[in-house]
């Protein structure tokens, strides 16, 4: 029958470093709470490493991962949000499952093209990156993948900017001390709704 597919997509830019212990706690609890044969839970992280313009790192963690930081996955650099949404979304295609992509981040998308750093040019414009993010989100929704975003902390985009990228009612601004509680409640509510309708 129809399963439940959830991909947690973690921003691993440098500014997220202090928040990762709570994100890791959330991952551990979700893995235990959603340990059913009909649930597919994936954890992914993304960033553009320092001094690696044009590169996008996507980390796909093993099942039941306990920590998000390792020699090959560390919090640093920029936030190529639209690229990560596209890659994570592609990994969820081709099933009948109810599919949710849940992004945890703490600010605007940020990215620089390869070669531009050598010319002394600035990052790709924030408005362009917001447009790319909006297009990636809308493309996944057309393919029946629901995309949600929680923005953590006090440096998050304005309501109008978040509405533009993710759509009204598809994102939430939370404080860093509510990261675990609010995220768990959000996932639990969607899972319970799935159980009632499957």
For the CA atoms of 166, 45, 181, 41, the dihedral, rounded to the nearest 10 degrees, stands at 90
pLDDT of residue 116: 63
Give the span between the Cα atoms of 142 and 13, in whole angstroms: 28
Q: Considering the entire predicted model, what is its pTM?
A: 0.91
* Residue 76: both structure tokens together: 């640093």
For residue 63, the model assigns a pLDDT of 83
pLDDT (tens digit per residue) in 105-142:
999 999 988 876 655 556 789 999 999 999 999 999 99
| Of 54, 107, 50, 55, nearest in space to 76 by CA | 50
Regions of the chain with pLDDT less than 50:
none
- Say if residues 99 and 146 touch (Cβ distance below 8 Å): yes
pLDDT score recorded for residue 129: 95
Cα 64 off chain centre by: 18
Query: Which three-class secondary structure state does DSSP give residue 76?
Result: coil
In the numeric block, the tokens 């860093």 are attached to 176
Give the pLDDT of residue 137.
Answer: 98
The pLDDT value recorded for residue 64 is 76
The phi, psi pair for 172, rounded to 5°, reads -150, 140
């Amino acid at each position: 029958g129809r399963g439940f597919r959830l991909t947690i997509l973690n921003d691993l830019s440098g500014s997220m470093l202090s928040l990762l212990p709570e994100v890791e706690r959330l991952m551990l609890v979700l893995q235990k709470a959603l340990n059913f044969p009909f649930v597919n839970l994936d954890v992914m992280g993304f960033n553009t490493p320092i001094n690696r313009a044009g590169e996008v790192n996507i980390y796909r963690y093993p099942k039941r991962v306990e920590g998000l930081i390792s020699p090959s996955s560390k919090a640093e650099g920029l936030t190529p949000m639209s690229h990560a949404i596209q890659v994570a979304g592609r990994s969820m295609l081709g099933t009948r499952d109810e599919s949710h992509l849940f992004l945890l981040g703490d600010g605007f998308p940020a990215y620089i093209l390869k070669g531009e750093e050598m010319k002394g040019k600035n990052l790709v414009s924030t408005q362009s990156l917001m447009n790319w993010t909006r297009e990636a989100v809308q493309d996944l929704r057309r393919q029946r993948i629901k995309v949600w975003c929680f923005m953590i902390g006090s440096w998050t985009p304005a309501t109008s900017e978040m509405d533009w990228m993710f759509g009204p009612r598809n994102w939430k601004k939370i404080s860093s001390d509510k990261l675990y509680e609010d995220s768990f409640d959000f996932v639990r509510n969607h899972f319970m709704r799935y159980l009632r309708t499957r």
